Amino acid sequence: MTRRYFVPDLPLLGGLVSLPEAEAQHASRVMRVQVGDDLILFDGQGNEASASFVQVSRKDCQCQALAAQQMNREPIRDVHLAVALPKPDRARELIERLTEIGVKSLTPLIADRTQRPPTESLLAKLRRGVVEACKQSGRNQLLDLHAPMRSDAFFESCEQGTRWIAHPAVDDVVRAADESGCFTVAIGPEGGWTGDEVQQAISNGFRAIDLGPRVYRIETAATVIASILAT
């Protein structure tokens, strides 16, 4: 299997490329690459290029890249999730799964019942998780992890396409989506949305949707919704 490495400033016409330090360390220390080994470079914006290593050291790996090509492996729908993140270890797993599925962007929400807002340290780890998931899955477009927002500000500002808020005990059960286009879905914290939050979302054009007779954890609900939409 050809190894993949993230190079945000990938030259589209090809040439000599130095891997970012984190990628170089992973290549040399973990993957034990050698001069002459083949690899794929991607820039997180949809481009990838075949390359081969021409120099390998512990902190500096250089490769010769061919011209980049646009390789679109994105779903037919643009899926934007707004999620009151679970605990850090579960949040990292969530971000990786959503990246693999093909979610376009995620906004961490600070809801009324959020116990601990995400820290800058956690957000940095989540962004690294996005890169790792793209490397593993073959996706060339990074999931865009936005800055955290309070739920009320998010509901008032969101105007993207079809808008849903996941809320159990409603009659509108989502099984599949026939429409193409853009979907924005808000998923609440472990304690659930407050009544005021649900009403505010609905008054701003969101539709309350149910996932069936069982109540899912945050990461399960997000994964189910992403799987329904990102086909």
Spans of all domains in the chain: 3-70, 77-229
CATH superfamily for domain 77-229: SPOUT methyltransferase, trefoil knot domain (3.40.1280.10)
**Residuewise pLDDT in 10s, the chain (231 residues):** 569 999 999 999 999 999 999 999 999 999 999 999 999 999 999 999 999 999 999 889 999 999 999 999 999 899 999 999 999 999 999 999 999 999 999 999 999 999 889 999 999 999 999 999 999 999 999 999 999 999 999 999 998 789 999 987 665 555 555 566 899 999 999 999 999 999 999 999 999 998 888 889 999 999 999 998 987
Written as one string, the DSSP assignment of the chain is --EEEE-TT--TT-EEEEPPHHHHHIIIIIS---TT-EEEEE-SBSEEEEEEEEEE-SS-EEEEE---EE-----SEEEEEEE----HHHHHHHHHHHHHHT--EEEEEE-TT-SSPPPHHHHHHHHHHHHHHHHHHT--B--EEPPPEEHHHHHHH---SEEEEE-SS-S-B-------EEEEEEE--TT---HHHHHHHHHTT-EEEB--SSPPPHHHHHHHHHHHH--
Report the top-level CATH class of 3-70: mainly beta
77-229: same fold as 3-70? no
Task: Flag whether the pTM goes above 0.85.
Answer: yes
